[in-house]
Structure 1
């Protein structure tokens, strides 16, 4: 199981699309926006350098979760690799758990790199306990998006899974306010944002970074989405396995 996890991790780290869209792109967006708005503060006195750091780290976590689960899962299913794994001594639950653990591991580079750039380039500073709480919340908060990626990979072919994952990724990033504040699109868009997992995922980070701790409503919404999408992923995986 550990060897399988190591193999999966190395395979993704060799993927150029992963390195560009998941690791480099959030950092680039942060540098552009932080150099323009970084010195401003919001109504609560929190620097936009911190707010943008959380937003771009959240985007990186979202993108990493889906890119490292949807397309690889669909490719393995179509190529027959998943079928080969199922006839090895690995139990079925171990395959799913390894995929989840690998995706969680691959989230860390984007979260850490954006944070390091924020410290070095914008001078962002927080107490160590707050940094730890922020990174832990944003790391575990990616579980619903990993589940969504696995659901897409179980339901669609590789050719269809890639655009579907990217559309979902960009839609969640925009609707969740990771690129633009939802308020600028009006009350309807704000209402849509408030039911998305991406908005509450980022809100967890914004709240912790602002020194307010974890918002209970945000935790509950992210957890609820994790359960719903996890059940959907399990159902679609089971259906794909039975058909195979």
Structure 2
């Protein structure tokens, strides 16, 4: 099981598209925007260099979790690799857990590199406890997006899974306010955004860096989405393997 997880992680780290669009792109976006707006502050007095760090780290984690789960999962299902795994001593739950664990590992580069860019280039300074809470919250908060990626990979072909995952990723990033401040949304868009997991995911980090602690409402919403999407992913995976 550990060897399978290691193989999964190394395979994605060798993928150039993953490294460029999922790891390097959020860092580049942060550097560009932070050098333009970084010295400004929001209504609570938090510098935009810190807010942008949270937004870009969250976007990188969201993109990484979806792209490293949906497309490989669909490819393995379509190629017959999942059927091969089913005849190994690995139980079905171990296959899913291993894929989940490998995806969670692949989320870390985006979180760490955006944070390092903020510290080195914008001199962002947070207490050690805040750093630990922020990175842990953003890391564990991607569980609904991993589950969504696995659900997409269980029902679509490899060719269709990539654009579907990208559309969902961009829609969630916009709805979550990761590219634009939620304040610019109209009432209708704000209502839609408020029920998305990405909106509450972004608020986790924003609340922590503002010194307000971990908002339990956002934690419960994300947990609810993780359970719902996780259940959907498990059902769709089971249906896909039974049909195979």
Q: TM exceeds 0.5?
A: yes
Runs of 4+ deviating beyond 2 Å: none
Long gaps (5+) in structure 1? none
Match of 1:166 in 2: 166
CA distance in 2, matches of 1:96, 1:64: 17
Match of 2:85 in 1: 85
CA deviation after TM superposition for structure 1 residue 192, in Å: 1.1
CA deviation after TM superposition for structure 1 residue 182, in Å: 2.5
Match of 1:211 in 2: 211
Match of 2:112 in 1: 112
TM (norm. structure 2) is 0.99
Number of residue pairs aligned between Structure 1 and Structure 2: 244
CA distance in 2, matches of 1:39, 1:211: 19
* Alignment map for 1:135-150 (pairs within 5 Å): 135-150=135-150
User: Does 182-191 or 205-214 show the bigger shift?
Assistant: 182-191
Q: List per-residue Cα deviations over 1:86-144 (Å, max 9, x = no partner).
A: 00011111100000000000000000000000000000000000000000000000000
* Alignment map for 1:178-193 (pairs within 5 Å): 178-193=178-193
Kept after mapping to 2: 8 A contact 1:183/1:189: no
1:226 counterpart = 2:226? yes
CA deviation after TM superposition for structure 1 residue 21, in Å: 1.0
Kept after mapping to 2: 8 A contact 1:41/1:47: yes
CA deviation after TM superposition for structure 1 residue 229, in Å: 0.4
* Alignment map for 1:2-151 (pairs within 5 Å): 2-151=2-151
CA distance in 1, matches of 2:91, 2:204: 35
**RMSD of aligned C-alpha atoms?**
0.6
CA deviation after TM superposition for structure 1 residue 187, in Å: 1.1
CA deviation after TM superposition for structure 1 residue 67, in Å: 0.7
Q: List per-residue Cα deviations over 1:157-183 (Å, max 9, x = no partner).
A: 001100000000000001110000122
Kept after mapping to 2: 8 A contact 1:22/1:60: yes
TM (norm. structure 1) is 0.99
Kept after mapping to 2: 8 A contact 1:69/1:146: yes
CA deviation after TM superposition for structure 1 residue 185, in Å: 2.8
Q: List per-residue Cα deviations over 1:168-210 (Å, max 9, x = no partner).
A: 0000001110000122131111111111100100100001111
**Structure 1 residue matching 2:126: 3-state secondary structure:** coil
CA distance in 2, matches of 1:235, 1:21: 30
Kept after mapping to 2: 8 A contact 1:141/1:222: yes
Kept after mapping to 2: 8 A contact 1:182/1:189: no
Match of 1:239 in 2: 239
**Structure 1 residue matching 2:124: 3-state secondary structure:** coil
CA distance in 2, matches of 1:239, 1:164: 20
CA distance in 2, matches of 1:210, 1:185: 21
